[in-house]
Amino acid sequence: MKILFVSHIPDQYVKDRDPLGIMCLAATLKQAKHKVRICSPYISEVEKILSEFAPKIIAYSIATGDHIFYADLNSVIKKNMEIFIQYLEDLTLLFFQVLLPKIQE
Successive 10-residue mean pLDDT values, the chain, 105 residues? 81 58 86 90 87 87 75 80 64 60 67
Count of CB atoms situated within 10 Å of the CB of 25: 23
Domain span at residue 16? 2-97
Q: Is residue 8 part of a domain?
A: yes
In a domain, 86, yes or no: yes
Residue 53 lies in a domain: yes
Model pLDDT, residue 15: 52
Does any domain span residue 64? yes
pTM of the model: 0.71
Residues in the chain: 105
Q: Is residue 105 part of a domain?
A: no
Residue whose C-alpha is closest to residue 99's, from 65, 48, 61 = 61
Residue 104 maps to a domain: no
The CATH number linked to 22 is 3.40.50
- Asked whether residue 103 is assigned to any structural domain, the reply reads no
How many domains are contained in the chain? 1
- What distance in Å separates the CA atoms of residue 105 and residue 94, rounded to the nearest whole number? 16
pLDDT value, residue 2: 92
